[in-house]
Structure 1
């Protein structure tokens, strides 16, 4: 996970939760390392530790180049279907796009 982009999220996460979204991060790091990172950055959401990359692969966010997850976001609707999957190296700066994806997912459930 990109520390710089994650560090931008605490100021913007309210825009997502206001839309009814649950926010979490996924890290290829150990549980301890993910917890330290969340505490260090003051993240108001949990970080899932996925060192085996099972969740990352399930969301098709695995980067082949260096065996690292791609940076980006996945919007999953309330039925558990992936609505949006977006590789975005600047996800912390592009929260408006994530909010739009959440709104679109909600419209699809109406």
Structure 2
């Protein structure tokens, strides 16, 4: 998503990640990958559980991508089965462009 950050911003979108890792681990990963958008920490899994994104029987978060419109309505919701199962950036950008177009 970092590589497409400018495209998200051109549509007036804000890109935010939520990590279930500890602050220092998330910061190290962000630095290593060159991530410049905000990463919010949910190491207690409170937000993750509220969206029912915790793998059954484990404290492992499922990968999820959401696009919300200006009123906070979810217009795209993709829940992966594993850490590698994520939507293509183009799919997320298309949803953002639809929101931006009104």
Same fold (TM over 0.5): yes
Aligned residues: 98
TM-fit CA distance, 1:105: 3.2
Q: Which runs of 4+ in 1 moved over 4 A?
A: none
Secondary structure at the counterpart of residue 22 of structure 1: coil
Higher-RCO chain (CA-CA 8 Å, sequence separation at least 6): 1
Runs (5+) with no aligned partner, structure 2: none
Q: Is it true that 1:105 corresponds to 2:99 in the alignment?
A: yes
Deviation at residue 67 of structure 1 after TM alignment: 2.3
Alignment correspondent of 2:86 = 90
TM-score by length of 2: 0.78
- For 2:76 and 2:51, locate their aligned partners in 1 and report how far apart those are by CA, in whole Å: 10
Matches within 5 A, 1:24-43: 24-43=16-35
Equivalent pair of 1:21/1:102 in contact (CA under 8 Å): yes
Structure 1's unaligned 5+ residue stretches are: 1-8
Asked whether the 8 Å contact 2:79–2:86 carries over to 1, the reply is no
Partners of 1:65 and 1:20 in 2: CA distance: 39
CA RMSD of aligned residues (A): 2.0
